[in-house]
Amino acid sequence: MRWLVIWAMSAGMALAAGPENGPELGFFEGTYEMVGRGADGALMAEPLALRVQRRGLKAEGCAGPAGTLRWRREHESWRLKGRLFGMQLVCGYAVDAGNDPQLICAGPGGVRLTGWPEEAFGEALACR
């Protein structure tokens, strides 16, 4: 009986740890609408495309290159860290009903951005 309890506890701890390396970078490749508050506190809504490159994700905005994000282990979870639109960000993620990632980003100075997947998530960036 004692052996069974030890086995159940260790299996539970293994499941709680989650996947060892997190999702592949290709999971985040697509087009997003980044909405929230920028560094100056102003509201922002900017389209963004993330594409896999050799060492992370390259971000492209309507005005040109928008930065890069890299997949990093942070304590017990994985985060995307880097610069977008000239702001230093750390991004977690959630998954919507279509299994597309939603980015939840924060940075110094009250920067808070959420990246909503566009309707045409895998297509080219559509600038207005």
pLDDT for 16 equals 38
Number of domains in the chain: 1
The whole-number average pLDDT for the span 21-50 is 91
Residue 70 lies inside a defined structural domain of this protein = yes
**Domain extent at residue 76:** 22-117
How would you classify the pairing of strands 64-74 and 77-84? antiparallel
The structure's pTM equals 0.78
CA-to-CA separations, 53 to 27, 69, 82, 110, 115, in angstroms, rounded = 13, 10, 14, 29, 19
Whether residue 6 lies inside any domain: the answer is no
Question: How many CB atoms within 10 Å of residue 68?
Answer: 17
Query: Which residue is it, tokens 């920028």?
Result: 38
At 42, which CATH number? 2.40.128.10
Per-residue pLDDT tens over the stretch 43-96: 999 999 999 998 899 999 998 888 999 998 888 888 999 999 999 999 999 998
Q: What are phi and psi of 4, to 5 degrees?
A: -65, -40
The predicted pLDDT at position 90 comes to 96
Residue 39 lies in a domain: yes
Copy the structure tokens of residue 92: 């977690």
Position 3 pLDDT exceeds 70: no
